[in-house]
């Protein structure tokens, strides 16, 4: 008897960098049989999507040393409806940052801790080195090495779900 697992990827992207990272993770995850991959922009995702998932990937740019406002809004709308219903579910995160990314990771980790999610991969931060207003607002192009890291994370998440490792 085969049971399909569901991996939910919730993201926000303004300049395309985070979207490219998510697309790469999705490619990796869909290579695994027995796992349905749902990708939703943060504005379209809600608690029902989180509750229907077996594993989660959160992806965001780091804006002003924090997760994006739209990902924060998703967490605000979903947090209490999902509280105490997600205990032990696996999660990972992707952050597209101009210089650091660690504050966005810490924010996601704090929310995930409240939901009692289980981290199953190191946070994946891609640094674009965008430091001027023009560079920060410009469309991003994520390098192939970083996209491969994102694909590998998606593949590992899906494989872990399919095999029942987490």
Q: Which of 35, 151, 9 is closest to 93 using CA atoms?
A: 9
Q: For position 29, which CATH number holds?
A: 3.40.50.360
Helices (H) and strands (E) in the chain, counts: 6, 7
Chain centroid to CA 60: 7
> Residue 91: beta bridge partners?
56, 119
Tell me what pLDDT residue 1 has.
45
Q: Chunked in runs of 10, what are the mean pLDDT values of the chain (166 residues)?
A: 87 97 98 96 98 98 96 98 97 96 98 98 97 93 98 98 94
> Dihedral sign, CA of 142, 146, 147, 150?
negative
pLDDT (tens digit per residue) in 30-71: 999 999 999 999 999 999 999 999 999 999 999 999 999 999
Q: Which two tokens stand for residue 88?
A: 């032990």
pLDDT at 3: 83
Dig out the tokens for 82 from the structure. Answer: 């999902």
**Cβ count within 10 A of residue 22:** 25
DSSP state of 33: T
Sign of CA dihedral 85, 153, 162, 32: positive
Dihedrals phi, psi of 165, to nearest 5 degrees: -70, -35
CA distance 71 to 140: 19
Alpha helix segments (H runs only) across 4-143: 17-30, 47-51, 69-82, 102-115, 133-137
By the 8 A CB rule, do 89 and 54 touch?
yes
Residue-range definition of the domain harbouring residue 62: 5-163
The total domain count for the chain is 1
| DSSP 8-state symbol, 32 | S
């Amino acid at each position: 008897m085969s049971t399909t697992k569901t991996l939910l990827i919730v993201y926000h992207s303004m300049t395309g960098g985070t979207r490219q990272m998510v697309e790469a993770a999705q490619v990796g995850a869909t290579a695994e049989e027995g796992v349905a991959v749902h990708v939703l922009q943060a504005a379209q995702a809600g608690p029902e999507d989180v509750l229907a998932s077996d594993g989660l990937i959160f992806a965001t740019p780091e804006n002003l040393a924090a997760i994006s406002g739209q990902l924060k809004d998703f967490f605000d709308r979903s947090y209490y409806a999902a509280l105490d219903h997600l205990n032990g579910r696996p999660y990972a995160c992707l952050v597209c940052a101009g210089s650091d990314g660690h504050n966005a990771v810490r924010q996601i980790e704090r929310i995930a801790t409240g939901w009692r999610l289980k981290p199953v991969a190191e946070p994946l931060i891609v640094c674009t080195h965008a430091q001027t207003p023009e560079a920060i607002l410009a469309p991003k192009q994520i390098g192939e090495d970083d996209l491969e890291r994102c694909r590998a994370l998606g593949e590992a998440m899906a494989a872990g779900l399919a095999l029942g490792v987490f």
